[in-house]
Chain A
Amino acid sequence: MNHYYAEDIAKSPRIGRLIEHLYAKMPVIEADRAVLLTESYKETEGEPIIIRRAKAFDHICRNIPITIRPLELIVGSASQAPRGCQVFPEYSFEWLEEEFDTVATRSADPFYIADETKKTLHEVYKYWKGKTTSDLATSYMAPEALLAIEHNMFTPGNYFYNGVGHVTVCYGRIAQEGLESIQAQAAEALSKVNFGDADYAKRSHFLQAVIIACEAACVYAERYAELARKEAEACSDPTRREELLKIAENCARVPRHGARSFYEACQSFWFIQMLLQMESSGHSISPGRFDQYMYPFFKADLDKGLITREFAQELMDCIWVKLNDLNKVRDAASAEGFAGYSLFQNLIAGGQTSEGLDATNDLSFMCIQASMHVSLPQPSFSIRVWNGSPQEFLMKAAELTRTGVGLPAYYNDEVIIPALLSRGLTMEDARDYNIIGCVEPQKAGKTEGWHDAAFFNMCRPLELVFSDGMDKGVQVGLKTGDVTRMKTFDEFYDAYKAQMNYMLSLLVNADNAIDMAHAERCPLPFLSGMIEDCIGRGKSVQEGGAVYNFTGPQGFGIANMADSLYAIKALVYDEQKLSMADLKDALSNNFGKLRTPEEAEDITKNLAKAFAADGVTLNEDQIRTMYQTALSGGVPEDKRLQYEAIRDMLEEVPKFGNDLPEVDAFARDVAYTYTRPLQDFRNPRGGQFQAGLYPVSANVPLGAQTGATPDGRYAGTPVADGVSPSAGRDTHGPTASANSVSRLDHYIASNGTLFNMKFHPSALAGREGLANFVALIRSYFDQKGSHMQFNVVSRETLLDAQKHPDKYRSLVVRVAGYSALFTTLSRSLQDDIINRTEQTSI
């Protein structure tokens, strides 16, 4: 009946051993890349930047230490130690130097760093002072934008301090034709450059750089061929020797030439995937539609009887493991926002072909199988769903969901394809989309999407409305007037929109400054050779060489803003039960929330110390009074009760997420305050801004910087993630919640929306449970939701994992756009995951 093979395929014992080796130790920071990069830069002073980048990449590829890990079939490691990471001083370095002594002990994503490495990096960093993309971007930004960043209105931190990444290249073409075809194409273009061309300098240097960079990658692979041969000679185990000789043969062939087998194609894929992350520190380098571009190799081998399904599966499993070998150290604040050592390498299976037919094949199923076998956070595995998706395929995906690994995420072709069409993609390209990073759709090999351009907290502009644009005594926002004098809700809402628009313009200002800095200081020749139409246009991806160019900053806190604005409309204006002045007062006093005894104790101790420093000794009574004051935040009891009553009143107002059409329509409008104005802005690459509505895990740390909000949310607590309702506010079950979320406009948020749900495993029990789960996804998608992801774990499991992390080292949960190991997350994020409404059915 089916034209695909959907049966389970057994897991090779090799896979477990590879994983064991990979997770044996804490990841390490290594200095080799930084040293080689700096050596090269010192030698190329004065040359065109694109040539300097290519030569530096070449110097790294020829000299960085290489290693083959025990039992590997697919080779190529960016670091000597498993899960180690290189550093990228050309983007920024100060933060790492400042965190040298804390990076090993911090709560989110710790890394070990040797004293020797610190010393080496310290030397390297001297060269980079004032030369980074970060330095240049800062100098390009408007002072108002810098001020807004300083006041946490938004954070463009991702690309401000790192490479951009967030791209999918033409892996299939490289596997078919080899890098030599890119080199030939560049050489051909170079031969047509005329001395008299206006862009001669840019174009000719860019094309030369592409050729140098591709050559560097080939040389790097050939070094592995040599190493494998040597190791084979020294190997006493005949089985392993054969494996090593095969590895040597593969690495001598690819990626320079086209692959002749599925195995060679896998190795080719891996070199490209890994070297892209050696060239730049950008994350979310996404393999994309692996099941599509690898299928011809698999099919050919299978038909000729050259490969078994078991061995093909083993090779894929090896790649899945290798995707977890790559790692990246981020600054402490970003590590909180992207917690879980995640590189967001999104790999997607299923969906439609560019002709609009169902694309599911045997490899689509084997991708699911590989994620089951390795049960690791990478790749960020995704499934495309459309009306013609085979039920068996979705059932198998649901089985993976049931394992609790937090994968896959489900994406709706029926929304994403039209959304991409509306952004100017051709029908063929839109149908062939894949997902970048968390939830961001784009066409592989043609797009520079700048998908993760900034985190924009929609709650902060509302705070500015209440403070007339002031934050911590500084005029950060617009002067929109005294909030207590606003006569109508429309007047109030207009003030919010004005603050939003102003902050959005500053966000664009910051993003565009960073964008230009990357073009000037870190154009990427290796990447650019694999993105259409860089060679044709004679410029890098960073300078606008790609066919499609976007900038996609992501907003979050929609549910908080929808609930807040709705409550203000209802209580302050429609029913007039609450005065704006009282609300303002309650907000600025955090609804009279008592501090915890620990917090109060800390405050008391610090104050006592300060007094002691001034030579004042306090008696016990004074200390007790001080403690009581600290506990109450200095709010008198009667006031406190009044604030509490206001909060109770706010809590009673209907909330987003409960299938109430009026509230949901309101939320839709509130989301437009972010998504609509953004569309009107342009980036320096000639592309358009497009909104995303997803938070990665930044809703927790950025919530910590956000004051109390009129939906009854206390200051400092997480804001709502993605398009999901606020945690605990959706009380009518998953269908009600999904109905509400589907009423937002997912088409306009063409950089992706993110809807999180947590399920107890009992909801997926048996074949019936799987079918019901698939039906839930399909029904949400029928109503034009764009994305859905699930955590399937019990609350008890998570609480126990907090208490006994040792027992749960491999417990994977879905955080926001990706999966992470639960025990590696910070405590507050763990709490947030536990407290998210658990959608169960008793």
Chain B
Amino acid sequence: MENAFNKVRGRIFDIQRYSIHDGPGIRTIVFLKGCFLRCRWCCNPESQEYDIQSLTMNGKTKTVGEDTTVEAVMSEVLKDLPYYRRSGGGLTLSGGECLFQPDFAAALLEAAHYWQLNTAIESTAFAPYESIRKLMPHLDLFLMDIKHMDSDKHKAFTGVENGRILENARRVAVSRDCELIIRVPVVPGFNDTPKEICDIARFAASLPGVRRLHLLPYHRLGQDKYTGLGRDYSLAHLLPPPAEHMRELLEAAEEASGLACQIGG
């Protein structure tokens, strides 16, 4: 392989194969390190800092974060080529925030397209639009998180205001360069009232070309990692939203927006 994109370097902290909930078909998710946001419920707290860290789980300490190249990442991703071919799947970038390393992310997507894989990113969309523009030529699906329509509340729970996110959402939608699906992490006490969900759903419906909305119920699988990083978990006592409540929110969102809504990715 002599393509320039292969040599681009970046920092990842995990590669997860056989993902079937983050884009079409069977996919591999590459988790990039570093994020602009500090969501209190984040299930990958080890993803937030760009620095390489130590994480202690079950008495074993491991290093989180690895500097690598597109070529090295792709050699792992391509191990599942037969599965992408049969399922129409491919590569999904997650994080952290892939827009935190836009050149690396763009090169990964370009490499994936070189191999005819479907490409997706799972992103907060909190970045200069210039970063997003770099990814666009090789992006098939943008799974964009919209967490709250109230900017103050957004800032209180994620550390940033939502203005840039909403603006980027509109610009991506208007560009029609890729499919856009809006995702909402449903976090009790933050955004789990029908009104808050419906506000997001209506905004999503106002974006040209957007047809689908995913409601992702909060889960606690990341809890131990906070301790492992020597951090406090401020939501330690938070329970996942009950299934019944999720169904109510789903129906409310569908009615308010007319979008095809689903629970989970």
Partners in one complex: yes
List residues of chain A with CB under 8 Å of any chain B CB. Answer: 659, 732-736, 739, 763, 765, 768-769, 771-772, 775-776, 778-779, 782-783, 839, 841-842
Residue of A nearest to B86 (CB): A775
Judging by beta carbons under 8 Å apart, are B86 and A735 in contact? Answer: no
Residue interface bits B21-64, CB-to-A below 8 A is 1, else 0: 10011100000000000000000000000000000000000000
Judging by beta carbons under 8 Å apart, are A736 and B87 in contact? Answer: no
Judging by beta carbons under 8 Å apart, are B85 and A779 in contact? Answer: yes
Judging by beta carbons under 8 Å apart, are A779 and B83 in contact? Answer: yes
Judging by beta carbons under 8 Å apart, are B79 and A659 in contact? Answer: yes
Closest 3 CB pairs of A and B: A775-B87, A775-B86, A733-B18
Residue of A nearest to B28 (CB): A735
- Distance of A365 Cα from B135 Cα, bound (Å): 45
Judging by beta carbons under 8 Å apart, are A735 and B20 in contact? Answer: no
Number of A-B contacts (CB under 8 A): 57
B213-265, CB < 8 A from A: 221, 264
CB contacts (< 8 Å) of A779 on chain B: these are 26, 82-83, 85-87
Known: A733-B17, A733-B18. A775 touches B25 (CB 8 A): yes
Known: A735-B26, A842-B221. A772 touches B82 (CB 8 A): no
CB contacts (< 8 Å) of B82 on chain A: these are 779, 782-783
List residues of chain B with CB under 8 Å of any chain A CB. Answer: 16-21, 24-26, 79-80, 82-83, 85-87, 89, 221, 264
CB contacts (< 8 Å) of A841 on chain B: these are 18-21
Residue of A nearest to B24 (CB): A768
Interface centre among B21, B24, B86 (most CB of A within 10 A): B86
CB contacts (< 8 Å) of B87 on chain A: these are 771-772, 775-776, 779
Residue of A nearest to B87 (CB): A775
CB contacts (< 8 Å) of B26 on chain A: these are 735, 772, 775-776, 779
CB contacts (< 8 Å) of A733 on chain B: these are 16-18
Instruction: Pick the residue among B18, B25, B85, B86 that contacts A734 (CB under 8 A).
Output: B18
CB contacts (< 8 Å) of A776 on chain B: these are 18, 26, 83, 86-87
CB contacts (< 8 Å) of A739 on chain B: these are 79-80
Residue of B nearest to A777 (CB): B86
Residue of B nearest to A842 (CB): B221
Judging by beta carbons under 8 Å apart, are B25 and A735 in contact? Answer: no
Judging by beta carbons under 8 Å apart, are B79 and A775 in contact? Answer: no
Known: A659-B79, A775-B26, A775-B83. A763 touches B17 (CB 8 A): no
Interface centre among A736, A768, A772, A842 (most CB of B within 10 A): A772
Judging by beta carbons under 8 Å apart, are B79 and A735 in contact? Answer: yes
Instruction: Pick the residue among B20, B25, B79 that contacts A763 (CB under 8 A).
Output: B20
Judging by beta carbons under 8 Å apart, are B79 and A736 in contact? Answer: yes
- Distance of A775 Cα from B79 Cα, bound (Å): 15
In addition to A765-B264, A768-B20, A782-B86, 13 A-B residue pairs with Cβ atoms within 8 Å of each other are A659-B79, A735-B17, A735-B79, A736-B18, A739-B80, A772-B26, A775-B89, A776-B26, A776-B86, A779-B85, A839-B18, A841-B21, A842-B221
Residue of A nearest to B43 (CB): A842
In the complex, 12 of the A-B residue pairs with CB atoms within 8 angstroms, ordered by the A residue number, are A732-B17, A735-B80, A736-B17, A765-B264, A771-B25, A772-B20, A776-B18, A776-B83, A776-B86, A839-B18, A841-B19, A841-B20
CB contacts (< 8 Å) of A765 on chain B: these are 264
- Distance of A736 Cα from B85 Cα, bound (Å): 16
CB contacts (< 8 Å) of B79 on chain A: these are 659, 735-736, 739
CB contacts (< 8 Å) of B86 on chain A: these are 775-776, 778-779, 782
CB contacts (< 8 Å) of B221 on chain A: these are 842
Interface centre among A732, A775, A782, A839 (most CB of B within 10 A): A775
Tell me the smallest distance from the CB of B28 to a CB of chain A, in Å.
8
Tell me the smallest distance from the CB of B93 to a CB of chain A, in Å.
17
Interface centre among B20, B24, B87, B264 (most CB of A within 10 A): B20
CB contacts (< 8 Å) of B85 on chain A: these are 779, 782
- Distance of A776 Cα from B18 Cα, bound (Å): 9
Instruction: Pick the residue among B18, B21, B24, B264 that contacts A735 (CB under 8 A).
Output: B18
CB contacts (< 8 Å) of B25 on chain A: these are 771-772, 775
CB contacts (< 8 Å) of A775 on chain B: these are 25-26, 83, 86-87, 89
Tell me the smallest distance from the CB of A772 to a CB of chain B, in Å.
5
